[in-house]
Chains A and B, each alone.
Chain A
Amino acid sequence: MAEKKQKVIPDEYIPEVASRVVTIEGSDYLVENDAMYTFYERSMGEFSPFFLAIRDEKKILGCKCTKCGIVRVPPMLTHCPDCDFAPTQPVEVGQVGRMNTTPPITYFATSLFLHIAPYGRGRVILEGADTAMSVNLYTTTGILVPGLIKKGTEVKVIFKGERVGEITDIFCVPTSELTPDQITKKGLEESELNWATPKEPVFPKASEEDIAIYKQSLKEMQALAAEMSKSKRARKAIEGWKRDIAVKTKAGEFAMCINDGDFSIEERRLGSPDFVMACEDPKTLLDGLSYKGAITDSVIMKKLWISKNMEFNTIFKLDRLARFLAREKKEAAKQ
């Protein structure tokens, strides 16, 4: 089995030794880059058979109480807490199951998971089990959207090709996206699935009206961008952040540039953008920047396409930019 050759803490997460001074009401405060870290050589103890069975045999193990017969997956534990600690025995369970409840979908993740958002995590009760196991949930059709996987949805355990003996060696997809053979096959691997490849959308030819809407929307977005760059609060939303984004719409392409507090929108093509956004109607983006609906939601609802999922983080910053400007305007209007 191949082993992952990567650092326990990837280099990109580690800041340099540095400090800065923050001045508040004339007083200086020292702020230092720092970390609190501990390394482990951690034993999986009584869970070792469970993780080894996933890694080496593509099997899911549970434990069965010798007294009440309840089957717990994951195998919690060697003795049953409901039967005055009667011993349990390992049992293999099925690789198809049903969702215990509708799973949440995380769009704004912790710093360790920002690059895989959006993702679903839910609990599946596998055939032969009585308790639910947490799993990551994916769809082979693109971004996981609310409503696709619900309570009772039948899902199948999929094994990754390279397994290291962790719970992330497996995940689930709805069986409705699989063939009958795939559903019955034990140890089905990720590479055997038919994953949809994200493709940049192709828009129909723009009409005169579309061009007029595009020009007007662009003008309004440029005005908003100028306001955002001047707003102390809005600038905070994109502090320390740099991105050049190519935005493609039905009637034209423009550049959206974020540069450590500065935000600009210009009608030009970028040679090498950090990523591409594509939306048929530029008003989708205009509404987002005007705080009339979140840009995040436009991505989720497939009105706006982004070329890199990990740039969800930039989308969040754009939503925050819109909210901070709207809030500043609201407060100014009250005064």
Chain B
Amino acid sequence: MAKKVGIVGAAVTPFKGRWYEKTYYELAQMATREAVKDAAISIKDVDAAFYSIYNDIFERTCIPEHPLHGIIGMQHKPGIRISCGGATGAYTISAAHAYLAGERFKIVLVLGVEKATDCFDFLSMSATPEVIKAIAWSGDSFFEQKLGWSASDSYAEVVLGYMDEHPGDLKPEVTAQISSQLSKQARTNPYAQRQFDQVTPEEVMNSRYIVYPFKELEICVYSEGAAALILAEEETAKAMAKNSGKPIVWITGLGEANEHSFAGKNQKDMSRIMSGHLASHRAYDMAGIEDPVKAIQVVELHDAFVHELEITLAEFGLVPLGRADSLIEEGIMLPGGRLLVSPSGGLIYCGHAVGASNIMSAWSARKELIERNLRTAMVHGTGSTVAQYMACQILEHE
């Protein structure tokens, strides 16, 4: 029987559009310092580090985790880096969980860090085109990169595929309301990049197209920052909780799935995010959740695009496929609704420091469970081309 695993400490640095003041070394150490403090332990108590760093080009270093290991106090201990596109953080949590459940370690650090906006395009004199270029090296290099493949256009393909099948869903006025709602939620997150950028649905509708059908205020912002979790196996977690006085949030379900990266017969069905359906239902099975609509109270999503947020929640079975607009039209994610969706403001308003993003989501979900005294939350990461990768975790407050 695998060991039970819980979150016993968590921390995030502020997510910012640009951290001139810090390198990724210092950001990583900041999050580590705060996470061990939150868990009321010494870094010497930690058995291994699991690094969540997405893109070597952002950090301008291949094997970007190697300089971190010593400076976060982990010399002579194991360290593993996970890189799975946008789903890097969620997959890193899965990997760390497996080692703890398999009794290889008792306490581990999950550390996500990313410094994206050092990238700079000297032609347009702005960072974003170079940041998205750094990501665009992730596209298929034989057939797609040279066509102008980008993360946004590949997710737009999936969204448009869904809209082909469900033309009445993902209405622009609904996606605008969701973005507006997320902006309001970021207001209480002091670590959010856009904490004070509350927008109206009208402003979202008036923002420019970036990639059709995505508008500027429906897309995540690239951030720099770090986030860390301290995970422990059952007995150790209980002892640590007694010492720290903080409740344990257990990871009771995990699921992962990767799709084909090309479309057509026997390959990717563009109208679905099957990776989301499979990963979420595998996590429900493991957690013993039969009816996710009744069980899940908080979802911290990898919501890089509002449209993708809607489809993902439908794939999770939390709203019907083809009726994702019920999130707003039936008030499901509005204040007082049955589901708290990305209370941190999500990747659009808290920000998207890729390797740190899903770790930030877990930090937020744990915080919400404890502070609101709720029982069950879900964390998710999606990544690669056409929403190919997906990893989900179910968190339960004891």
Contacts and interface: CB of A to CB of B under 8 A. Distances in A.
B334 to A, nearest CB: 22
B208 A105 contact: no
Given A106-B150, A114-B129, A122 B157 contact: yes
Contact of A112 (B21, B136, B210, B270): B136
Interface residues of A, number: 72
Interface of B: 20-21, 57, 60, 121-125, 128-130, 132-133, 136, 140, 142-144, 146-150, 152-153, 156-157, 160-161, 163-164, 196-197, 203, 206-213, 216, 262-267, 270-271
A319 B208 contact: yes
A33 B60 CA distance: 12
Contacts of A296: 208-209
Nearest to B162: A101
A272 B212 CA distance: 33
Nearest to A73: B264
Given A13-B122, A27-B21, A102-B161, A134 B143 contact: yes
Contacts of A105: 209, 211-212
Contacts of A300: 209
Contact of A104 (B124, B157, B206): B157
Contacts of B60: 34, 36
A316 B215 CA distance: 12
Given A101-B164, A122-B157, A109 B125 contact: no
B213 A146 contact: yes
Nearest to B119: A111
A259 interface: no
A111 B129 contact: yes
Nearest to B135: A110
Contacts of A208: none
A179 B213 CA distance: 31
Contacts of A112: 133, 136, 148
Contacts of A132: 262-264, 267
A34 B60 CA distance: 9
Contacts of A102: 160-161, 163-164
A311 to B, nearest CB: 11
- Which residue, A36, A125, A239, A291, has most C-beta atoms of chain B within 10 A? A36
A130 interface: yes
Contacts of A248: none
Contacts of A292: 206
24 contacts: A12-B123, A24-B21, A31-B20, A36-B57, A101-B270, A104-B156, A104-B211, A104-B212, A106-B152, A111-B124, A111-B130, A114-B124, A123-B264, A131-B262, A131-B263, A131-B267, A132-B262, A134-B143, A146-B212, A150-B164, A151-B160, A151-B161, A294-B209, A326-B203
B212 A107 contact: yes
Given A110-B129, A111-B123, A294 B206 contact: yes
A264 to B, nearest CB: 19
A331 B207 CA distance: 18
A122 B148 CA distance: 11
Contact of A119 (B142, B148, B163, B203): B148
A29 B208 contact: no
A88 to B, nearest CB: 13
Contacts of B148: 106, 109-110, 112-113, 116, 119, 121, 136
A213 interface: no
Contacts of B265: 70, 130-131
A240 interface: yes
A258 B271 CA distance: 43
Contacts, number: 173
B263 A100 contact: yes
Contacts of A136: 147-148
Contacts of B129: 108-111, 114
Contacts of B149: 121, 134
A255 B136 CA distance: 37
A174 interface: no
Contacts of B196: 331
A196 B60 CA distance: 44
B384 to A, nearest CB: 15
Given A109-B148, A109-B150, A241 B270 contact: no
B202 to A, nearest CB: 9
A107 B196 CA distance: 27
Nearest to B198: A330
- Which residue, B157, B208, B265, has most C-beta atoms of chain A within 10 A? B208
A125 to B, nearest CB: 6
A36 B211 CA distance: 27
Nearest to A45: B142
Given A24-B21, A319-B208, A123 B133 contact: no
B211 A106 contact: yes
Given A74-B143, A134-B143, 12 more contacts: A29-B21, A101-B161, A105-B211, A111-B129, A121-B149, A125-B264, A130-B266, A166-B146, A241-B125, A295-B208, A300-B209, A331-B196
Nearest to B61: A36
Contacts of A44: 142
Contacts of A31: 20
Contacts of A293: 206
Contacts of A294: 206-209, 216
Contacts of B206: 291-294
Interface string A166-208: 1110000000000000000000000000000000000000000
Nearest to B151: A110
Interface in A121-168: 121-123, 125, 129-136, 146, 150-151, 166-168
